[in-house]
Amino acid sequence: MLFLGWDIGGVNTKAVALHISSGKTVDSYESRSEYFPIWEHSLPELPQLLIRVKNDLCKGSSLRSVGVTMTAELSDAYQTKREGVNHILDSVEEVFPETSVWVVDVDTNLLSLGEARKQPLRVAAANWAATAWMVGRHVSNCILVDVGSTTTDIIPIVEGKPETLGKTDTERLISGELVYSGVLRTTIPSIVHSIPVWGKNCRVSSEKFALVADVHLLLNNISEEEYSCETADGRGKTVDNCLARLARMVCADTDILHKNEIYEMAQHIYQCQLAQIKEALIQVAANNTAIERVMVTGLGRNFLARRAALEAGFKEIIDLGQIIGEKGAERAPAYAMALMVASLK
């Protein structure tokens, strides 16, 4: 049987197709992630994207059911989250008119499309709940740290269930359970306001001259292939391109700054981003002192999530990628949604 899970984001839309035997065992899976900044497209293009990914993954196989979670409703392509949720649900229904579709809410309940439309703010940005549900099936007590391209989720899991102080994005930003910092699209001024240059403290430009993806590529944390978003200047993703973009953050260029000086800038930015995530993890851990383990996932699970957990004093760190595979961990909410609908009686 084939079950399809979706994580429809404002920038990346991810899907996982699980092939599951009658014994509820995952035999194999395929996944896709497509860069689709929704604010750059007309809204009718979303169903076209879903059809394209569906056809690529299903390849004519009979589809049992579909699970959906989303974060795209926050995009300024929509005036309100309610509008965004309804457009996403309409798009899914258009693509799967005869298939059972379920949408997860912030309490890990699966809702029908009709129920989800009545409670749009309960299904908005609930992808963290899907991942936490899946992680809780493997490790009953842990703090999940999921570092994606744009954000970091820090979710306490107690007795197999997510136990967050916040449910909405705003509440989770307050509680430390959501950090708006990720591997690729985060802007440099959101991480640092100044950088050491020539032995002095240099304020950074507030322009979008570079992204943190430039930092992580320079430091070999990601590959050019993993640098999946567009660059700040529209140029390429080579080391030289990244050096030039990062130099502009202090209104310089590669004639003015030696490459070693730019690498030192990159290392400083990286350490500051680590500190952001570590600070939030410590905030969450302070409310969950009995939890001693951390589960890491997402594109930044090793060089951000794991490092932050180690610096926060955690000794036992589990990699979700070793449980469900590398691509499954990078697309964990979509994998979780497919697993959730497969678990329905």
Residue 143 falls inside a structural domain: no
In order of 2, 17, 39, the CA distances from 54 in angstroms are 12, 9, 22
Within-domain flag for 217:
yes
Cα 201–chain centre separation: 32
What is the percent of the chain where pLDDT is above 90? 96
Return contacts of 83-90, CB within 8 angstroms, 24+ apart: 84/124, 85/116, 85/117, 85/120, 85/121, 85/123, 85/124, 86/117, 86/120, 87/43, 87/46, 88/8, 88/46, 89/113, 89/116, 89/117
pTM recorded for the entire structure: 0.95
Q: pLDDT tens across 219-233, in order?
A: 999 999 999 999 999
324 and 138 Cβ atoms separated by less than 8 Å: no
Tell me which of 230, 248, 274 is where a domain ends.
274
- Whether residue 123 contacts residue 110, with contact meaning beta carbons closer than 8 Å, is answered with no
Q: Which DSSP string do the residues of 284-304 spell out, in sequence order?
A: HHHT-TT--EEEEESTTIIII
CA 38 to CA 243: how far, in whole Å?
A: 29
214 CB contacts (<8 Å, ≥6 apart)?
Answer: 231, 232, 241, 242, 245, 246, 266
Cβ–Cβ under 8 Å, residues 209 and 245: yes
> Is the alpha carbon torsion for 70, 130, 170, 189 positive or negative?
negative
Bridge partners of 16, per DSSP, are: 5, 31
User: Residue 228 half-sphere exposure, CB side, CA atoms within 13 Å?
Assistant: 18
18 neighbors 342 (Cβ within 8 angstroms): yes
CB 78 within 8 A of CB 87: yes
User: In terms of DSSP bridges, do strands 100-104 and 63-70 run parallel, antiparallel, or are they unpaired?
Assistant: parallel
- Residues 185-192 have a mean pLDDT of 98
Structurally, how many domains does the chain consist of? Answer: 2
Question: Residue 160 falls within a domain, yes or no?
Answer: no
Domain match, 6 and 129 both: yes
User: What pLDDT score does 345 carry?
Assistant: 65
> Which phi-psi region, left, alpha or beta, contains residue 199 (left: φ > 0; alpha: ψ -120 to 50)?
left
Angle at 38 between CA 34 and CA 44, to 5 degrees: 100
Band of residue 203 on the pLDDT scale cut at 50, 70, 90: very high
What CATH number should be reported for the domain holding residue 93? 3.30.420.40
Residue 21 confidence (pLDDT):
80
Q: Do 90 and 208 fall within a single domain?
A: no
Read off φ and ψ for residue 4, nearest 5 degrees.
Answer: -115, 125
Number of neighbouring beta carbons within 10 Å of residue 296: 26
Specify if 156 maps to a domain: no
Task: Look at residue 282 and tell me whether its pLDDT is greater than 70.
Answer: yes
Whether 224 and 128 share a structural domain: no
* Residue 225: domain span: 188-274
Domain match, 192 and 132 both: no
Query: 116 and 237: one domain?
Result: no
Mind listing the pLDDT tens digit for each residue in 118-141?
A: 999 999 999 999 999 999 999 999
Task: Note the pLDDT tens digit of each residue in 59-114.
Answer: 878 899 999 999 999 999 999 999 999 999 999 999 999 999 999 999 999 999 99
Q: Which of 274, 291, 321 is the last residue of a domain?
A: 274
What is residue 23's predicted lDDT score, i.e. its pLDDT? 63
The answer on 130 and 32 residing in a single domain is yes
Of the candidates 227, 256, 274, which is a domain's last residue? 274
Provide mean pLDDT across the span 210-226: 98
Q: How far apart are CA 216 and CA 218, in angstroms?
A: 5
When the pLDDT of each residue in the chain is averaged and rounded to a whole number, the result is 96
